[in-house]
Amino acid sequence: MCGIVGYIGSRRVVPVLLEGLKRLEYRGYDSAGLVYLSKNGLVKHRAAGKLVNLETKLDQVRETASHIGLGHTRWATHGSPSELNAHPHSDCNGELVVVHNGIIENYHTLREELQADGHVFKSETDTEVLAHLIEEALPLSRNNLPAAVRRALKKVRGSYAIGVLWTGAPDQLVAVRSQSPLVLGIQENEGGGSLLASDIPALLPYTRKVVFLDDQEMAILRADGFEVRSLASGRKINKEIKTIDWNPAMAEKAGYTHFMLKEIFEQPQAIMNTFRGRVEPETGQICLPELDLSDREIKKLNRISLVACGSSWHAALVAKYWLEKWVGIPVEVDIASEFRYRRLILNENVLVVPISQSGETADTLAAMCLALQKDAKVVAICNVLGSTITREAHGTIYTHAGPEIGVASTKAFICQLVALYLLTLYLAQVRGVMSASQRQTMIESLVELPPMLERELPGWQEEMGRLAEHFVKSRDFLFLGRGENFPIALEGALKLKEISYIHAEGYAAGEMKHGPIALIDRDMPVLALAPQNGVYEKLIANVEEVKARHGRLILLGSRGDRDLARLTPHVIYLPVVMPDLNPILYTIPLQLLAYEVARLRGCDVDQPRNLAKSVTVE
């Protein structure tokens, strides 16, 4: 979950590290720290809480001329959030430091062995064992730091991305990746040098040239360049330098109060980025060559398995309706953490679709690996170029949502829906179960959606702001939907509970009478998604049950529907689109409602408590 950043070059290192940590704080914010090498040795600063606490400490320190260092922002896995447990962590002599993202599974055993050898530990973390292991390995490796890191990590089980700095090698940083993301930044502009980070935004102020490390790879960074070696053999590996088309401004708030609000308003453009170049409205053709599946393989498919976590799982639930309706193949939807612990019936005729914004979600990665072992076809849906999921899958549909800094997913979720919609149309096209005219109608409707959303968004924010004032003090909330809008009720509830800390639940509206209706009283807000579609009458009947028990109704429905106003004064009218696109349309007002409620409650919208952006541990 944590964020790491490192730099070696001609710039002053502390400002570089702080800027990188600011852009990585979404990965964890219960403590932060940095270390740099001065003429008197390593200088370490750490603080509990958010990054601002570390900055306050550094304001009291005379600026150093150091040009090499490491930084870390933490999301606790082992040891309570505290300054003592904050990274970086040192060896016994304070001459070597490590920053780490991941979990060392056998750290208890390693710690006991090291303590028996006389090592003294100062923290409760699993990370500290890495510093002591490398310390032990240095004399056995003739004080060669990369060799010592390789030797030490042979004893380690778990997931890790680490950065290592040692006073005995003042001209290099060592970085290693194993099941946790790590990317290098290659500078060509004034100042030069090399960078490492957990994620791309930390690198954007300095370079767009990056190198993605693969599992079991080690990088040695110097001021004038870098090299990558196999962790197992030590042999040199030639890596491709890629150019990222994000610019630093994309990772800033651009005048919005919060990243989340900015990212909600970016959704029309993000939707266009997802379908651009993949649809031909004039012919009804869908182009997805990146699937890397032949027409013959697609025609042989007899089942689809969608695997994801959190909001991505809700996107998968929507896609189940689309795929079964238009492709005619049975579809299963699994929470990734459960998928891997049941008996899987997979083969070469099953398409497994892992969905992950980051491409590094630990449970989804593990589920994908199992699918690959059983010879299933794997097509990933992901936002991050070069991430682990995209490298391991047979094919990938990139969502092209751009960087998403707010912890609560907004544009990444919407773009996942669009990518799954395109996948549905493409499979139907290849299998010959949908006419070109039908596809053309559906593509045209999709293309018309972004400009419509662009027009509607400001008005929705105003309406949801007024609505939030009525419900900001609520303790509980129910969201109802039917058909393909049921998963959007789940997503709406998740957004509200994530950022406002109000207890919220989503239900299929028909399930109300099977238990949840017992909760309805004059204090219970109930939001129902009521577009005029094939299950409209059924939904309204469920809403009447809520009204009869004096629940506080909120309805989102089709513009022109005059019947909704008789049920409640709280009605939000949305444009009429084809039913398959309602999940995309109806999601955005729910995002805005959650945002406005959280804002009024004074919550930390972009960094809600106990959550981190990328869940890279099980």
Q: Which residues are catalytic?
A: 2, 613
Which one-letter DSSP state was computed for residue 179?
A: B
Tokens of 243: 């150019």
Residue carrying structure tokens 């238009």? 326
Contact 587, 577 (CB under 8 A): no
What is the Cα–Cα distance from 389 to 372, expressed in whole angstroms?
Answer: 12
What is the Cα–Cα distance from 452 to 582, expressed in whole angstroms?
Answer: 13
Q: Give me the residues paired with residue 6 across strands.
A: 70, 196
Q: Which residues does 335 contact at the CB level (< 8 Å), separation at least 6?
A: 307, 308, 309, 313, 363
Pairing of strands 503-508, 525-530: unpaired
CA angle 441/268/210 to nearest 5° reads 115
Q: Is 110 helix (H, G, I), strand (E, B) or coil?
A: helix
What is the Cα–Cα distance from 437 to 281, expressed in whole angstroms?
Answer: 10
Please, is 422 exposed, middle or buried when counting C-beta atoms within 10 Å of its C-beta (0-12, 13-18, 19+)? Answer: buried
Contact 311, 613 (CB under 8 A): no
Contact 263, 406 (CB under 8 A): yes
Contact 134, 148 (CB under 8 A): yes
Strand-by-strand arrangement of the 525-530 sheet: 503-508, 476-481, 525-530, 552-558, 571-574
Contact 460, 592 (CB under 8 A): yes
What is the Cα–Cα distance from 316 to 335, expressed in whole angstroms?
Answer: 10
What is the Cα–Cα distance from 612 to 477, expressed in whole angstroms?
Answer: 24
What is the Cα–Cα distance from 451 to 608, expressed in whole angstroms?
Answer: 31
What is the Cα–Cα distance from 41 to 439, expressed in whole angstroms?
Answer: 66
Contact 574, 559 (CB under 8 A): yes
Contact 100, 152 (CB under 8 A): no
Kindly give the residue spans of alpha helices, DSSP state H, lying in 25-81.
51-59
Residue carrying structure tokens 């702001």? 465
Contact 380, 353 (CB under 8 A): yes
Q: What are phi and psi of 219, to 5 degrees?
A: -115, 140
